[in-house]
Structure 1
Amino acid sequence: MGLSTHVLDTMHGTPAAGMRVSFFATGTAGDRLIKRLTLNQDGRNPDGLLFSSEDLLVGSYKLVFDVAGYFRQRGVLLPEPAFLNLVSIDFGVADLNSHYHVPLLVSPWSYSTYRGS
């Protein structure tokens, strides 16, 4: 099963191709960077899963999406500072037999997420 993400740009009605994402394990000792990636043309990790079920552990994690950088790259004029710069989603993994999908729907002014399938 494992962990995956998918980002949709609701301003343009497209996947957020080219958005930069950082993935962290979080805990009492602080955040530990696991990987950085740039989303492919479908708004997904080009390598497939962020973490396979064999590598994923029960614990707390964080995905950080570079929203302002993405929209500026698309030519959107944003105020300085941008309303949304980095969007962080903190989530927990409790069941290693389940798939965890963390989608993000985003514009320069709003975002939403949920536990996908």
Structure 2
Amino acid sequence: MTSLSTHVLDAVAGAPAAGLALVLTDAGGNLLASAVTDADGRARLAEDLPPGTCRLRFATGEWFAAAGREAFYPEVVVAFTAAPVDAGGRAHLHVPLLLSPFAYSTYRGS
């Protein structure tokens, strides 16, 4: 089984991005999970992620608008590949997002 989590930080405010909505889909666009980041900007999205290409959509435009802040990106979509796990194994994927109104970066976390 592969689990998935994320951590979103607002680089301008220097704080976690609490209350940001997330949607996880497979390559065919089928909904796998949805969540909202907690007070620390973290969310767990899947405990049994299937292998293959997945897309994690962050609703950044709505989040910035709710805070009365202008933003360039209405959403951030991170596509990644969840590799099959060896027999009996367990893996964890972590997709952090560093966010500002006019830029973002992401990487494979641990």
**Cα drift, residue 65 of structure 1:** 0.4
Identity %: 43
Distance 1:20 1:3 in 2: 15
**Aligned amino acid, residue 34 of structure 2:** R
Matched residue SS, 1:50: strand
Distance 1:73 1:85 in 2: 12
Q: TM-score, normalised by structure 1?
A: 0.82
- Structure 2 gap ranges (5+): none
Q: List structure 1 runs of 4+ shifted beyond 6 angstroms.
A: none
- Structure 1 equivalent of residue 39 of structure 2: 41
Q: TM-score, normalised by structure 2?
A: 0.87
- Structure 1 equivalent of residue 45 of structure 2: 50
Between 89-98 and 62-71, report the one with greater CA deviation.
89-98
Post-superposition Cα deviations, 1:43-90, rounded to whole Å, max 9, x if no partner, equal 112xxx3212xx2221110000011111111221x2xxx421110000
- Structure 1 gap ranges (5+): none
Equivalent pair of 2:8/2:42 in contact (CA under 8 Å): yes
Q: Which has the higher strand share?
A: 2
Question: How many matched pairs?
Answer: 105
**Aligned amino acid, residue 41 of structure 1:** A
- Structure 2 equivalent of residue 87 of structure 1: 76
Matched residue SS, 2:42: coil
